[in-house]
Structure 1
Amino acid sequence: MKLKLLLITLFTFSIGVFSSGQSTINITTTGGSFTSEKWVNITDMADGAGTQIWGQGDGTYGNAQGLINQDIMLAPGTYWVNCYDRFADGWDGTTIDVTAYGASIGNNGGVSPDDGTDNDAGSGWETPADELEASFMIVVPSPPACQVATGITSSNILDTSADFSWTASASETGGYNWEVVPQGDAQGVNVVTSGTTISGASTVSITGLSSGTSYDFYIQTDCGTSGMSTWAGPIVFNTAVVACGSTVYDTGGAAGDYSNNESYTITYLPDTAANVVTLDFTLVDLENCCDTLTIYDGLDNTAPILEADLESIGSFTAINTDGAITIEFTSDGSVGGAGWEANYTCTPRPSCVNVSGITVDSSTSDTVTVSWTENNIPAGTDWEVVAVAAGDPVPAIGTSNATASPFTIPSLMANTSYDVYVRADCSTAFVGLMSVTTDCAVVTTYPYTTDFTTNVPNACWEEAGSDLERLLTGL
């Protein structure tokens, strides 16, 4: 009777562990020290007992020791993941995470495996009981109706681009959605770039990234009527660092053309805070009507524009305090070209950098208030601000008259057009011109008389017309 009961119990346990169909899980071990000492297997009982279902490498105890990132096919059910160390002294900070379809199903409580003992007699693989550091249970779920892509890998990672490939999902019917976010951000947060693929695709080339930057890649399967899968990822990757002195190119590289429907922004930084960036464009071959390359003096595309639509070769040097230049490129859906090529260099910041970004903030009938961007490090404290009659020559250099931005120019004529110039005190040249017209004079003394035989209606007066009734009634 006891024997029959035992057989029934084992049969029930077996059904709990193994069922029809296969699910995909992933085991990833990361970080820590002495990483070559780690080995993992999966069994149907705790502490490595029972039957080994899967083992690292070829499954032989200790084979292919080291860190892994591996997809494994298992029947849905309950298993134990066992963590071994060749010196039996713990995993030295290495962690393990087991995931299934985008969700963690076990990670040893988030701590590095360590049983707190060291029974090791040497550097070889001793008995599994001696080398075991942790054993934790996982429950492998059944495959979802829409399965994620697996085997995701990156390749051809350059300064602003990267390629990704994956093993196709068996349930994919509508392609894949993908996105890139800054490394460490959650999927969908601060998305840098995103897109879709056609059905059957298993690769994607991503452009418009920033050099020397860490990103996370995510991908989602479109299963048509079965809906969307969970997002697979993150897959961490780092773009290459483009150093000053390099030649930089559009997405086609040194020999290829750029593609249709591109849109990206790249920021080039100086190598030290004492330097500034120069981009010397030696090739510009774009579709003139519809593809645009814009150059900004700063860290992003909100900075002052150095060139709104570059159509020929030219050189641009940053004058902003960060020393950076940002480019923004867009192309439409047809006709392309060889693209652009530039020498990216960093040189010492000039001892005197003139102002930029002159803006008219406001005006009255006899004043104009202007502001500007100060570009010196440390920032200057004296400037010369001059308004001359519109069309007059650039004024001669005088003495500084402003100690702060914004600055109000006084004693101007009402309803008069002026050209405004500003220079840093250390500079021998004005920046400008910025045109502005003062407001009409306000009538404050009555009665007020003007002779329209010589002063015809202008910007300050409106002609009422000849309808006497409208003139008298205001209707």
Structure 2
Amino acid sequence: MLDVTGSPNSCNWSDVVTGNANSSTVYLNSANSGVSPSSGLTYTWTPQSNPDPVRAFAAVSGITGSSATLSWTAPTGATQYNVRYRQVGSCAWTNFAGNPVSSATATLTGLSAGTYYQYQVQAKASGGDESIWSHIPDAAGSGSGYIATGSFQTTISCYPPTALTSTNITTTTADISWTPPSPAPSNGYEYYYSTSNTPPGGSGTPTAGTSVSLSGLTSNTTYYFWVRSDCGGSGYSTWAGPASFTTQALTTPPWSEGFPSATLPAGWALSSYSGPSNSVTALSGTTTYYLYKNLYSSATTGSFTTINVGTLAGTENLSFTYKLANFSSPYGPPAIGSGNFVVAISTDFGATYTDIATESNNGVAGWQAKTYSLAGYAGQTVKVRITGNWTSGDYYLGFDDFKIETPPSCNPPSALTSSNITATTADISWTPPSPAPSNGYEYYYSTSNTPPGGSGTPTAGTSVSLLSLTSNTTYYFWVRSDCGGSGYSTWAGPASFKTACSPGSIPFTEGFESGYTDQTAVGVVGHSRVWLGLKFGLQIVP
């Protein structure tokens, strides 16, 4: 029989085994040309008279990890026997090395531990006649050979460990552990780890216990590990594994993350949170991507964690922006007290966290900024966790622009503004930082949006009148603080303005031959400009 004794359905017809009925069936697989009669295969038979085939077997005995003893009842006319065996799932048979045997028993050796085997016996008469091969018995000596239970299994003399686990994972270290088998191995274990998922081809590192601390690992890297038992004279078990873990990612301060794409940055993890995204209408107002959570009665919490940042000097601040917006148009902020978010810090790579702030929903629209001092974390590496919590309503909670950096000793001005704009002049002003700089400010303006690469024009105050500008032109301007011995702040800006058009002079003629321009300033009559929007020839004279 084929495909009914645990053998693969790719076996050739020449591998059929004996059944116990007067008729049997073999399979033809149209999708596999190998499952068909082999070329030149011929079946020839003569009614058997002597010896009879082997039909009765005793239970398989003396089963170890590498051997087993087979026994059967001698049929009429048999004086010797041929024995063959195979692993369940194999097409080919292996002839017993002691063939032919003269007694109704044979001990197979060289078997693999923990493996299922099938066997058959062929009786031989003294004149050389041979019977057909027997059916395939099971371990108890019965069985027809029509099912995969027509087999026996060798024992395992050295059992592998189980439940391979990794814990306490940092950027460069990890602990691995396992559960010992029963009985525990006499000589402990061997372990092996690698960044490749290829099983070990040789020995591993010996250890007596059931846990090991790995060190010298590479951050943000996946490792695979295996463990096997060392049973001394009984050899080794099979390798258990692989199990795997990924070391944590680490970056150094100053650090910033503005989510430039939809890919979650290395080292970040989301738990019931979404993003990065830029497609939530309610969270508009930022030019990059962001993380977000829709909080409502069926989704009451969500959190995320950042990459590890360290080592800190103790002068850094943690800052980020966030936005609260209702789920439905017009996307105003949710009610005061409708929820909160909790900011927590871990100094042990996320094993434990300490809350440093709980920020309640404040009813403020738009993106808001938060800053927290990290002065208490000098010499440490930190990971930030933020958890959003719902109380009422249906709203989004978004986050962006994370930074851990030392604030500048010289702070830049803010709120850059332009006013009193004419065709050739404009006033620019700004709000001083706190504290105000000791040496005033520098300003820079240009028709290009390229930030200044050097110094600007010094000024003591917080406003400047720009002169001799070009009409109908866009100007960009920047301002920075001059803190004397502490240096300069970063440039604030750019802000921009556009100068007005220059008025024409009288006499003035416009025939609108090349197109129509609404509200063209054509001159000054008295003390007022005259604006005309006409679609016909125009001439103005004094």
TM over 0.5: no
State the TM-score, normalized to the length of structure 2. 0.23
Q: Please identify the structure whose Cα radius of gyration is greater.
A: 2
More helix by share: 1
- Provide the TM-score with structure 1 as the length reference: 0.26
